[in-house]
Amino acid sequence: MRDLANQVGMEAASLYNHIRSKQQILNDICFSLANTYTEKMNKVYPGDLSPIDKIKSLVSLHIQVHAMSSPIAAVMNDEWRYLTEPNKTEFVAMRDVYDQRFIDIIQKGIDEGDIKKLNPRIAYFTLLSSIRWLQHWFHANSEFDVDDIKRTITEMILTGIVVIK
């Protein structure tokens, strides 16, 4: 809190005229992002897109979030476990629903013959995880271009790195 206060040019004690507690900041960060993801899933999941296109659309949001606000994404990804109850339980419940729907989409793709017969949970974690490095490496002055990243990551998830001959 001293570091934070210093960044905005005041004493730590003065921060408490603007926020309730350190926990409240964590809470706000985690749920604002969780809501963004959940809203997107609520739109995409029941829609008419093919499973592959649904995955493309969700992956695109994940990359966008990491690129536009990577510190926020990093805090949610790494610090959600320090949420206090009952917020932690609520957060985990939201995440579980999101995970399950994403896995359902993968399973549907498998059933329709468009996605390989992989373990859908392993495929899901591998897919999502492949985006996470952005939270450490992507920042405003990054050497990387968002569209280049979006193209490359999406291509790798869909068809890998190997040239098929």
**H or E stretch covering 79:** helix 70-79
Q: Are 120 and 105 in contact (CB under 8 A)?
A: no
- Binding mask 41-80 toward a second copy (x if CB under 8 A, else -) reads -----------x-------------------------x--
What does the CA dihedral 97, 115, 149, 71 come to, rounded to 10 degrees?
A: 10
Pick what 137 binds: a second copy, DNA, none; C-beta below 5 to 8 Å, kind-dependent.
Answer: a second copy
Instruction: Give Dmax over CA atoms of the chain in angstroms.
Output: 65
Q: Rg (Cα) of the chain, in Å, rounded?
A: 18
Closer to DNA by CB, 12 or 92: give it. Answer: 12
**How many residues touch a second copy (CB under 8 A)?**
39
Closer to a second copy by CB, 69 or 154: give it. Answer: 154
Quote the tokens at residue 2.
């001293």
Cβ neighbourhood burial of 113 (10 Å; 0-12, 13-18, 19+):
exposed
Verify binding: residue 82, a second copy, rule CB under 8 A.
no
Closer to a second copy by CB, 15 or 61: give it. Answer: 61
* Angle in degrees, 0-180, between the axes of helices 87-111 and 51-68, rounded to the nearest 10: 140
Residue ranges in contact with a second copy by CB under 8 A: 52, 78, 106, 109, 113-116, 118-119, 121-123, 125-133, 137, 143-144, 148-149, 152-153, 155-164
Residue ranges in contact with DNA by CB under 7 A: 1-3, 10-14, 16-18, 21-23
